[in-house]
Amino acid sequence: MSTRLNAEASFDFGPAKKRSPVPELVALALLALVLLPSGLRGLLESPGIRNWVTVFVAIVVQAIPFLVLGTLLSGAIAALVPPGWLAQHLPKNTAMAVPVAGIAGVGLPGCECGSVPVAGRLMASGAPPAAATAFLLSAPAINPVVLVATAVAFQGQPRYVLARFSASLATAVVVGLIWSKVGKAAYHERALKRVVQGDSRWGTFASTSQHDFLHAGGFLVLGAMTAATLHTMVPKSVLDGLAGAGFISILIIALLAFVLAICSEADAFVAASLTQFSPTARLVFMVVGPAVDVKLVALQTGTFGRSFALRFAPITFVVAIAAGVIAGSLLL
C-alpha cells in the first residue's frame, strides 16, 4: 500500500501562511488576569460558574473514551484501507449503498463523538458522501450499547427500543438519500482534503489518530462550552411550562435535545424521566439528540466544513422530527 501525501494539505490556512495570533492572545489573557479587579475574583467561585465548569468538564471527560475509540478507528481506516477500495467495494447504486451504510452503524458501539471522525475518514477514503453521512447518523443511535441502555431506561416497554431503532435508521437513510441529491462535493472539501501522513502503516495510524483526536477534540470543546452555557442559563420553566401542548411540545423537546447535547448512551434515561411529555415527544428526544445537537454541529463543522454543517444540520433536524413522530404514532 502506498502512503498518500497530499501536497496541498493545509486545510485551514491559505498558501500565504498567516502569522499565528497565539502569542498575542496568550499575552492578552495573562494581562487580563493580572488586571482582574479583586471583586471579580470571587466570580470564579460563584455557583453559576462552578456549575458551568462541572457540566463542561463532564461532557468533555465523558466524550474522551469515545473520541479516542473513534479516532483510533479513523487512524486504522487511513492506514489499512487503500484509497479507492471503499468506492470499489460499496454498492455502486446510491439507493443500495445508503441503507447498507446505515445498517453498518450497528457495528460501532459508542456515542456520537466517535462516529464523526470515522465518517470523515470514510469519506476521505472514497466512500460516497451520502453513504458516509448515513453511517454518521445511524452509528450513535442504533448500536447495541445504546439500544440496551434504551431497554433499561424504558423497562418493560420494548416498543420504545423498536421505535427508536426504526426512527433513527429511517432518519439516517432518508437524510443520506436527500444528501445524495443536494450534497455537492464543495460541501465536503475539508473532509476530502484531510491529511494522511506517515511513512509506514504504523506511522500513518499513529499520526492520523493523534491528528484527528486533537482536531475533533477542539470542536468538541466548542460544543461542550455551548451546551454547558445552555445548561446553566436555560430556566426550568422552559422545560416545565411548555410540555404537553401538542406539536409545540414536540418542537420544544427537539430543541431541548439539540441544546442539551446529551450523549446517546444516556439520553434514554433523561427521556424516560421527562414524564410530562407524551411518548412520541420522548421518542423524538431520543431520535433528534444523537443525530443533531450543538456538540455535533461543532464537530461536523470541524470535520466536514462549515458549508456542510449549515446545510446538513437543518435537514437532519427536520427529518429526525418527522421520523420520530411517524414511528411514535405507529409503534407507541
Find the part of the chain contacting other proteins (CB under 8 A) among 12-20, 90-98, 115-123, 311-319: 12-20
Classify 9 in phi/psi space as left (phi over 0), alpha (psi -120 to 50) or beta: alpha
Pick out residues in 288-317 that bind other proteins (CB under 8 A).
302
The grid cell for 52 is 458551568
C-alpha 235/C-alpha 181 separation (Å) is 40
By beta-carbon proximity to other proteins, the closer residue of 99 and 223 is 223
* Of residues 132, 139, 138, the one with CA closest to residue 108: 139
Our finding on whether 10 is near other proteins (CB under 8 A) is: yes
For residues 151 and 138, the answer to whether their CB atoms sit within 8 Å is: no
* Of residues 290, 284, 258, the one with CA closest to residue 271: 284
Find the part of the chain contacting other proteins (CB under 8 A) among 134-142, 173-181, 265-273, 309-317: 265-273
Our finding on whether 65 is near other proteins (CB under 8 A) is: yes
Q: Which DSSP letter does residue 16 get?
A: S
Our finding on whether 217 is near other proteins (CB under 8 A) is: yes
By beta-carbon proximity to other proteins, the closer residue of 235 and 246 is 235
C-alpha 242/C-alpha 248 separation (Å) is 8
The grid cell for 255 is 430543541
Which residue among 100, 109, 197, 326 contacts other proteins (CB under 8 A)? 197
Our finding on whether 79 is near other proteins (CB under 8 A) is: no
Our finding on whether 265 is near other proteins (CB under 8 A) is: yes
Our finding on whether 28 is near other proteins (CB under 8 A) is: no
Our finding on whether 255 is near other proteins (CB under 8 A) is: no
By beta-carbon proximity to other proteins, the closer residue of 173 and 291 is 291
Find the part of the chain contacting other proteins (CB under 8 A) among 122-130, 168-176, 219-227, 319-327: 219-227
Q: At closest approach, how far in Å is the CB of 60 from other proteins?
A: 4
C-alpha 112/C-alpha 293 separation (Å) is 10
Find the part of the chain contacting other proteins (CB under 8 A) among 80-88, 161-169, 254-262, 307-315: 254-262
C-alpha 291/C-alpha 142 separation (Å) is 11
Which residue among 53, 95, 310, 330 contacts other proteins (CB under 8 A)? 53
For residues 291 and 316, the answer to whether their CB atoms sit within 8 Å is: yes
Pick out residues in 159-188 that bind other proteins (CB under 8 A).
none
Pick out residues in 114-153 that bind other proteins (CB under 8 A).
149, 152-153
Find the part of the chain contacting other proteins (CB under 8 A) among 113-121, 128-136, 248-256, 257-265: 257-265
Query: Which H helix or E strand runs over 97?
Result: helix 94-104
Q: At closest approach, how far in Å is the CB of 82 from other proteins?
A: 19
Indicate the residue type of 212.
D
Spatial neighbors of 284 by CB under 8 A, at least 6 apart, are 250, 253, 254, 257, 320, 321, 324, 325, 328
For residues 164 and 141, the answer to whether their CB atoms sit within 8 Å is: yes
By beta-carbon proximity to other proteins, the closer residue of 102 and 302 is 302
Our finding on whether 31 is near other proteins (CB under 8 A) is: no
Our finding on whether 54 is near other proteins (CB under 8 A) is: yes
C-alpha 188/C-alpha 306 separation (Å) is 9
